[in-house]
Amino acid sequence: MVQLRDNHRLGNNIMAVSPATQPVADVPVGMGQAMVVEAPGRLRAILGSCVAVALHHPGLHVGGLAHVVLPKSNGQSGLPGKFADTAVPHLVALLKAAGAAPPRLVAKISGGANMFGNTGPLQIGDKNIQAVLEALAACGIRVTAQDVGGTSGRRVIFSPASGELAVESVGQAPKHL
Amino acid sequence: MIDLASPDCPPLESLRRLSVEATQNASSAMCRWTGTRIHLSLDEVREVPLENVSAEMEIGDDLLTMVVVRSTGELGAEIILMFDETSSRKLAACLLGRVPDDCAEWDELETSALTETGNILACAYLNVMAQLIGSDLLPSPPLLMRDYGASVIQQALMAQAMECDRVLICRTTFQQDGEQLDWRVLFIPTEVTRRHLENAFRSNP
């Protein structure tokens, strides 16, 4: 169990969690949210067409997860974690505030399924994956592992202690990225 | 008494009334299809913050069986019939005159029975909506899925999420001979469809 000392909102629906006094379970990250925890805290999300971006600082055992819903903000305001182009810079800023400097951050991503099949006009999963990769590249963050695409949902749990992103998907063996 | 034609009428009230009508029509269709007394009742019409959808709609990371029917074209919407594994087995067995078997692989007949259930229910629901707005709502072929409920809802909410950070969901529950069933139907309109429905109800309450 992780010990939380503080639990404060930074901006609209962005929550930063820092160490130490109350025991908590895995912290769920809802659609459009972005959160940061220190080890041994863990972050979890359920994904369909959304993409989870997990950023990790290996030396500090601190990490964050953004639950990206759509590729581009196109100037829209709202949940900073909602769009790939706002979520990644925002998550980097949260980690920086927690002492994790961008040069050592690495990324793992998962999600971006097309739940209703690979036909139809709204293939948002593919667009989300592409937009997240572009946003990470723009911030100079290396992607070390990914499990994306397909037509099935995913449950992910991110552990900053090890940097592992565990991915479960229906009918498949769990993956440990 | 709420005046549904009034501009002061709460937007969700008109959608709630409409959903009650659609639910009644779906109820009748389900009774005919299953040959049992199944009653659908509108549970709620709510606007939910995007980030809290799973928690507030009580859809965790359980694996569910779902039939998804989409209204395609200009007026989009998703109708999702959801049940847990046991309930879906019971329904399929009831429709096929069999004893439920939770351990067996799903066969083609069971899959077809569930898919058709979703199709009948969704068409009954959409017919009421289409009559009200005087425009065709074209149902897609039904899609049977076994997956995390939250993952499927996430995709269904995309069109609304593009417009705002709060999403509208209508939820219906089921009873059979007075006993609550672990089935749910979610109706998720796009923003455009929602506006059409509200306007139609205001002009013809």
Q: Is it the case that residue B179 has pLDDT exceeding 80?
A: no
Tokens coding B76: 């989009």
More reliable by pLDDT, A73 or A3: A73
Q: What is the pLDDT of residues B27-59, one digit of tens each?
A: 888 788 877 777 777 777 888 888 888 888 778
**Is the residue at B16 inside a domain?**
yes
**Is the residue at B154 inside a domain?**
yes
Tokens coding A42: 């863990």
Q: Is it the case that residue A6 has pLDDT exceeding 80?
A: no
Helices then strands, counting H and E runs in chain B, come out as: 7, 7
- Chain B positions in Cβ-Cβ contact with residue A79 (cut-off 8 Å): 50-51, 165
Residue B167, pLDDT score: 83
More reliable by pLDDT, B103 or A163: A163
Q: Can A139 be counted among the known catalytic residues?
A: no
CB contact at 8 A, B177 and B36: yes
**Is the residue at A175 inside a domain?**
no
Q: Is it the case that residue A7 has pLDDT exceeding 90?
A: no
H runs (alpha helix) in B134-178? 149-156, 158-161
Range of the domain at A142: 2-168
**Is the residue at A174 inside a domain?**
no
The verdict on a CB contact (< 8 Å) between B147 and A30 is no
pLDDT level of residue A35 (50, 70, 90 thresholds): very high
**Is the residue at B1 inside a domain?**
no
Q: Is the link from the previous residue into A40 a cis peptide, with omega within 30 of 0?
A: yes
**Is the residue at B2 inside a domain?**
no
**Is the residue at A173 inside a domain?**
no
**Is the residue at A125 inside a domain?**
yes
Using CA atoms, how far apart are residues B165 and A69, in angstroms rounded to an integer? 11
DSSP string computed for B124-180: HHHHHHHHHHTS--EEPPPEEEEEEHHHHHHHHTHHHHTT-SEEEEEEEEEEETTEE
pLDDT level of residue B8 (50, 70, 90 thresholds): low
Residue B129, pLDDT score: 80
Mean pLDDT score, A103-115: 92
pTM: 0.84
Q: How many structural domains comprise chain B?
A: 1
- The interface predicted TM-score (ipTM) is 0.80
**Is the residue at B120 inside a domain?**
yes
Mean pLDDT score, B168-175: 80
Which residue(s) pair with A68 in the sheet? Answer: A51
Q: What is the pLDDT of residues B55-72, one digit of tens each?
A: 887 787 888 889 988 888
**Tell me, what CATH number does A82's domain have?**
3.30.1330.200
User: With a CB-CB cutoff of 8 Å, which residues 123-182 of chain B face chain A?
Assistant: 143, 145-148, 150-155, 157-159, 161-162, 164-165
Using CA atoms, how far apart are residues A90 and A10, in angstroms rounded to an integer? 10
Q: Is it the case that residue A8 has pLDDT exceeding 50?
A: no
Is the four-CA dihedral A97, A100, A103, A105 of positive or negative sign? negative
SS3 state of residue B202: helix
| pLDDT more than 90, % of chain B | 1
Site of tokens 């972050």: A43
Mean pLDDT score, A80-108: 90
Mean pLDDT score, A93-120: 86
**Is the residue at A150 inside a domain?**
yes
Residue type, B189: P
Using CA atoms, how far apart are residues A173 and B153, in angstroms rounded to an integer? 23
The verdict on a CB contact (< 8 Å) between A78 and B164 is yes
Residue A71, pLDDT score: 93
Q: Residue A23: CB partners within 8 Å, gap ≥ 6?
A: A1, A2, A3
pLDDT level of residue A121 (50, 70, 90 thresholds): low
Q: Is it the case that residue B3 has pLDDT exceeding 60?
A: no
**Tell me, what CATH number does B75's domain have?**
3.40.1550.10
Is B70 in CB contact (< 8 Å) with chain A? yes
More reliable by pLDDT, B125 or B198: B125
Cα Rg, chain A, nearest whole Å: 15
Q: How many structural domains comprise chain A?
A: 1
pLDDT level of residue A154 (50, 70, 90 thresholds): very high
The verdict on a CB contact (< 8 Å) between B54 and A30 is yes
A 10 A CB-CB count for A79 gives 27
Distances (CA, A) of A69 to A53, B28, B127, B128, B176: 11, 37, 31, 31, 37
Mean pLDDT score, B171-179: 77
More reliable by pLDDT, A98 or A43: A43
**Is the residue at B112 inside a domain?**
yes
Range of the domain at B38: 11-203
With helix as H, strand as E and coil as C, how does A90-127 read? Answer: HHHHHHHHCCCCHHHCEEEEEECCCCCCCCCCCCHHHH
Using CA atoms, how far apart are residues B115 and B121, in angstroms rounded to an integer? 10
